[in-house]
Protein backbone atom coordinates (compact mmCIF):
# COMPACT_ATOMS: atom_id res chain seq x y z
CA UNK A 1 0.00 0.00 0.00
CA UNK A 2 2.68 2.53 0.95
CA UNK A 3 4.71 1.52 -2.14
CA UNK A 4 1.80 2.63 -4.33
CA UNK A 5 1.73 6.06 -2.68
CA UNK A 6 5.49 6.45 -3.18
CA UNK A 7 5.13 5.53 -6.86
CA UNK A 8 2.36 8.08 -7.35
CA UNK A 9 4.41 10.76 -5.60
CA UNK A 10 7.48 10.00 -7.69
CA UNK A 11 5.40 10.00 -10.88
CA UNK A 12 4.03 13.46 -10.05
CA UNK A 13 7.53 14.74 -9.28
CA UNK A 14 8.80 13.35 -12.58
CA UNK A 15 5.95 15.01 -14.50
CA UNK A 16 6.68 18.39 -12.91
CA UNK A 17 10.41 18.08 -13.70
CA UNK A 18 9.70 17.12 -17.30
CA UNK A 19 7.36 20.08 -17.76
CA UNK A 20 10.00 22.46 -16.40
CA UNK A 21 12.68 21.02 -18.68
CA UNK A 22 10.33 21.18 -21.68
CA UNK A 23 9.66 24.88 -21.08
CA UNK A 24 13.38 25.61 -20.65
CA UNK A 25 14.29 23.79 -23.88
CA UNK A 26 11.65 25.63 -25.93
CA UNK A 27 12.62 29.00 -24.42
CA UNK A 28 16.23 28.27 -25.48
CA UNK A 29 15.08 27.34 -28.99
CA UNK A 30 13.07 30.59 -29.25
CA UNK A 31 16.12 32.65 -28.26
CA UNK A 32 18.34 30.72 -30.68
CA UNK A 33 15.90 31.44 -33.50
CA UNK A 34 15.71 35.11 -32.51
CA UNK A 35 19.51 35.37 -32.54
CA UNK A 36 19.54 34.35 -36.21
CA UNK A 37 17.18 37.18 -37.22
CA UNK A 38 19.01 40.17 -38.75
CA UNK A 39 17.28 42.73 -36.53
CA UNK A 40 19.57 45.61 -37.53
CA UNK A 41 18.26 45.56 -41.11
CA UNK A 42 16.84 47.34 -42.96
CA UNK A 43 18.76 50.44 -41.93
CA UNK A 44 17.57 54.00 -41.89
CA UNK A 45 19.78 56.78 -43.12
CA UNK A 46 21.81 58.34 -40.34
CA UNK A 47 22.33 55.03 -38.54
CA UNK A 48 20.11 52.63 -36.68
CA UNK A 49 20.12 52.11 -32.94
CA UNK A 50 20.86 48.49 -32.01
CA UNK A 51 17.54 46.69 -32.37
CA UNK A 52 16.17 43.68 -30.57
CA UNK A 53 13.88 41.11 -32.06
CA UNK A 54 10.28 41.45 -30.94
CA UNK A 55 10.61 38.16 -29.06
CA UNK A 56 13.53 39.57 -27.08
CA UNK A 57 11.60 42.79 -26.40
CA UNK A 58 8.68 40.80 -24.94
CA UNK A 59 10.96 39.60 -22.14
CA UNK A 60 11.91 43.14 -21.09
CA UNK A 61 8.71 44.73 -19.72
CA UNK A 62 9.34 48.22 -18.38
CA UNK A 63 12.51 48.61 -20.45
CA UNK A 64 13.18 51.09 -23.25
CA UNK A 65 14.12 49.11 -26.36
CA UNK A 66 14.36 49.47 -30.13
CA UNK A 67 12.63 47.07 -32.52
CA UNK A 68 12.21 46.95 -36.29
CA UNK A 69 9.17 45.44 -37.94
CA UNK A 70 6.72 45.65 -40.81
CA UNK A 71 3.33 47.31 -40.28
CA UNK A 72 0.92 44.46 -40.93
CA UNK A 73 -2.31 46.47 -40.93
CA UNK A 74 -3.47 50.00 -41.56
CA UNK A 75 -2.86 52.12 -38.46
CA UNK A 76 -5.89 53.21 -36.44
CA UNK A 77 -6.30 56.75 -35.11
CA UNK A 78 -7.80 56.83 -31.61
CA UNK A 79 -10.10 59.55 -30.28
CA UNK A 80 -7.23 61.10 -28.27
CA UNK A 81 -5.24 61.58 -31.50
CA UNK A 82 -2.76 58.78 -30.88
CA UNK A 83 -2.05 56.12 -33.48
CA UNK A 84 -1.99 52.35 -32.98
CA UNK A 85 -0.35 49.95 -35.39
CA UNK A 86 0.85 46.36 -35.14
CA UNK A 87 4.31 45.57 -36.48
CA UNK A 88 5.94 42.17 -36.87
CA UNK A 89 9.31 40.60 -37.52
CA UNK A 90 10.26 36.95 -37.95
CA UNK A 91 9.90 36.31 -34.20
CA UNK A 92 6.52 37.88 -33.40
CA UNK A 93 4.45 41.06 -33.37
CA UNK A 94 3.94 44.01 -31.07
CA UNK A 95 1.36 46.80 -30.85
CA UNK A 96 2.79 50.32 -31.15
CA UNK A 97 0.90 53.17 -29.49
CA UNK A 98 2.25 56.40 -30.99
CA UNK A 99 1.64 59.83 -29.45
CA UNK A 100 1.96 62.67 -31.95
CA UNK A 101 1.76 63.04 -35.70
CA UNK A 102 3.29 59.90 -37.19
CA UNK A 103 2.60 58.78 -40.73
CA UNK A 104 2.79 55.00 -41.02
CA UNK A 105 1.23 52.92 -43.77
CA UNK A 106 0.56 49.21 -44.02
CA UNK A 107 3.70 47.54 -45.39
CA UNK A 108 6.13 50.17 -44.04
CA UNK A 109 9.18 48.91 -42.17
CA UNK A 110 9.26 50.83 -38.91
CA UNK A 111 12.03 51.31 -36.37
CA UNK A 112 10.51 52.20 -33.01
CA UNK A 113 12.15 52.98 -29.68
CA UNK A 114 9.97 52.98 -26.62
CA UNK A 115 8.96 51.38 -23.36
CA UNK A 116 7.57 47.85 -23.34
CA UNK A 117 4.33 47.33 -21.46
CA UNK A 118 2.43 44.09 -21.28
CA UNK A 119 -1.29 43.66 -21.49
CA UNK A 120 -3.32 40.48 -21.37
CA UNK A 121 -1.92 38.31 -24.16
CA UNK A 122 0.08 40.99 -25.98
CA UNK A 123 2.96 43.41 -25.59
CA UNK A 124 2.52 47.11 -26.19
CA UNK A 125 5.24 49.66 -26.91
CA UNK A 126 4.51 53.29 -26.03
CA UNK A 127 6.38 55.70 -28.31
CA UNK A 128 6.28 59.30 -29.50
CA UNK A 129 6.38 60.29 -33.16
CA UNK A 130 10.03 61.35 -32.73
CA UNK A 131 10.86 57.75 -31.65
CA UNK A 132 9.59 56.33 -34.98
CA UNK A 133 11.51 56.06 -38.25
CA UNK A 134 10.33 54.55 -41.51
CA UNK A 135 13.32 52.52 -42.65
CA UNK A 136 12.06 51.19 -45.95
Inter-residue contact 92 to 99 (CB < 8 Å): no
**pTM, full prediction:** 0.62
Among residues 100, 63, 105, 101, the alpha carbon closest in space to that of 87 is found at 105
Each residue's pLDDT tens digit, 67-115? 999 999 889 888 888 899 999 999 989 999 999 888 899 999 999 999 9
CA gyration radius for the chain? 20
The stretch 49-76 carries a mean pLDDT of: 88
Name the CA dihedral angle for 30, 33, 39, 42, rounded to a multiple of 10 degrees.
Answer: -130
* Domains identified in the chain and CATH numbers: 54-134 (2.40.50.140)
Higher pLDDT, 40 or 61: 61
Helix, strand or coil for residue 1?
coil
Each residue's pLDDT tens digit, 8-19? 888 888 887 777
Q: What is the largest CA-CA distance in the chain?
A: 74
Amino acid sequence: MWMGKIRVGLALLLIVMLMMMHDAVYRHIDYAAAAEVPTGEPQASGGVAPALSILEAYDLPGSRVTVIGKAIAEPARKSDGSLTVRIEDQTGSILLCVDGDAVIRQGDYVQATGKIQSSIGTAIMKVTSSDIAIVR
